[in-house]
């Protein structure tokens, strides 16, 4: 129910031109569709005043790599653009809903200084941002919305703002969202409120209730290794360091990464194999680690409770048979079937270094990574 400009998706320059023709009007905006903010400052949002310009903008963006403040230096490849009817903007505002874990509620945040520099506003002028608590069931209180509308300087538009804020709350709860951010929320020259751009983050654990939303997932916008890991029930996140990690349990994984950083290097990934991991999943996990070209060492830190150390060992052996270990491996296997796991590794003749505790494991991994760098 939130008002948005008319627009159409396009995957090639001709389709972008046809989209603009179908939308009508005299001006259009071509937006790169990547999962990252900061597109405007990076040239990923282009205003076009004729159809030729639409086609040229789409052609320039499609297939290019867009580097923004949120993509990291590698950037993201643009595979789709969104062609939108241009809007007459009088003012740009900011409005969002997010789960506020400190207050145990939803928080609605707003600023009269929306647009590309909202992050700078937060840093330099925090007084220009206001946040109110919102009850999950009842939604924002009328008195709070009136104060927020006054803060946003919306004379004569309090009812319109309250209606939009109520719709936003219903969308947030109805979609099981963790974040809905409208930036900018514009006031048009004709005095209407319009969501010019938005970000939505949905709770993965609730997607079974939202088949239509789940169908919108675009694997091309995700790291291929993370997508592959998810197929095997592995929690994998690609990072920028040089030491690959395989750990069981998110807390132990984070502690392992902290220790690596404390010793002077950076982890290449987060990989939690979980409690009920199979040998096939372990093989896939090691294959993911081996595929990282920046890898200089691997640290395996397993505290076997539910997880059996011999399953981890068997997975490493089979992964090494498929793809040779080109970097040193540091192993700490403690707990269930520890002796069996160590025996399997030794009998396979794998060149690994054993660690007694996490501190020693991190030191060995950092030393091995630095050897590889040299």
Active-site amino acid positions: 94, 181
In the block, residue with structure tokens 């009850």: 135
In the block, residue with structure tokens 């145990």: 104
In sign, the C-alpha dihedral spanning 281, 286, 290, 294 is: positive
In the block, residue with structure tokens 């296997």: 333
- Rounded Cα distance between 260 and 298, Å, is 11
> Mapping DSSP to helix (H, G, I), strand (E, B) and coil, where does residue 264 land?
coil
| Cis peptide preceding 332, ω within 30 of 0 | no
Q: Closest Cα partner for 47 from 83, 78, 76?
A: 83
Tally: H helices and E strands in the chain: 12, 18
CA distances from 123 to 107, 116, 128, 129, 250 (A): 19, 14, 10, 10, 31
- Rounded Cα distance between 47 and 5, Å, is 14
Query: How far apart are the two ends of the chain, measured CA to CA in Å?
Result: 59
- Rounded Cα distance between 270 and 358, Å, is 16
């Amino acid at each position: 129910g939130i008002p948005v400009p008319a627009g159409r998706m396009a995957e090639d320059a001709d389709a972008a031109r046809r989209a603009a023709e179908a939308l009508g009007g005299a001006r259009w905006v071509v937006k790169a569709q990547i999962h990252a903010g900061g597109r405007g400052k990076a040239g990923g949002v282009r205003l076009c005043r004729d159809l030729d310009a639409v086609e040229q903008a789409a052609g320039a963006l499609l297939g290019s790599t867009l580097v923004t403040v949120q993509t990291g230096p590698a950037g993201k490849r643009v595979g789709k653009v969104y062609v939108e009817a241009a809007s007459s903007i009088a003012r740009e505002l900011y409005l969002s809903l997010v789960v506020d874990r400190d207050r145990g509620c939803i928080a609605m945040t707003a600023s009269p200084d929306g647009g590309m520099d909202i992050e700078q506003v937060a840093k330099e002028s925090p007084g220009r941002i206001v946040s109110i608590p919102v009850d999950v069931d009842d939604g924002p209180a009328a008195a709070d919305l009136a104060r927020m509308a006054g803060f946003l300087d919306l004379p004569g538009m309090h009812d319109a703002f309250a209606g939009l804020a109520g719709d936003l709350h219903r969308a947030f709860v109805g979609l099981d969202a963790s974040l809905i951010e409208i930036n900018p929320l514009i006031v048009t020259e004709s005095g209407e409120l319009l969501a010019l751009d938005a970000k939505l983050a949905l709770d993965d654990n609730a997607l079974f209730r939202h088949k239509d939303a789940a169908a919108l997932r675009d694997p091309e916008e995700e790291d291929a290794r993370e997508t592959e890991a998810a197929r095997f029930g592995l929690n994998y996140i690609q990072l920028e360091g040089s030491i690959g990690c395989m750990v069981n349990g998110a807390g132990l994984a984070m502690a392992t990464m902290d220790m690596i950083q404390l010793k002077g290097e950076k982890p290449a990934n987060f990989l939690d194999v979980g409690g009920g991991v199979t040998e096939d999943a372990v093989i896939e996990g090691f294959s993911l680690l081996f595929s990282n070209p920046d890898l200089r060492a691997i640290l395996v830190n397993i505290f076997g409770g539910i997880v059996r150390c011999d399953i981890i060992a068997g997975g490493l052996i089979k992964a090494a048979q498929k793809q040779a270990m080109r970097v040193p491996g540091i192993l700490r296997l403690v707990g269930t079937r520890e002796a069996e796991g160590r025996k399997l590794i030794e009998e396979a003749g794998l060149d690994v270094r054993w660690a007694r505790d996490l501190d020693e494991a991190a030191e060995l991994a950092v030393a091995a990574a630095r050897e590889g760098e040299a």
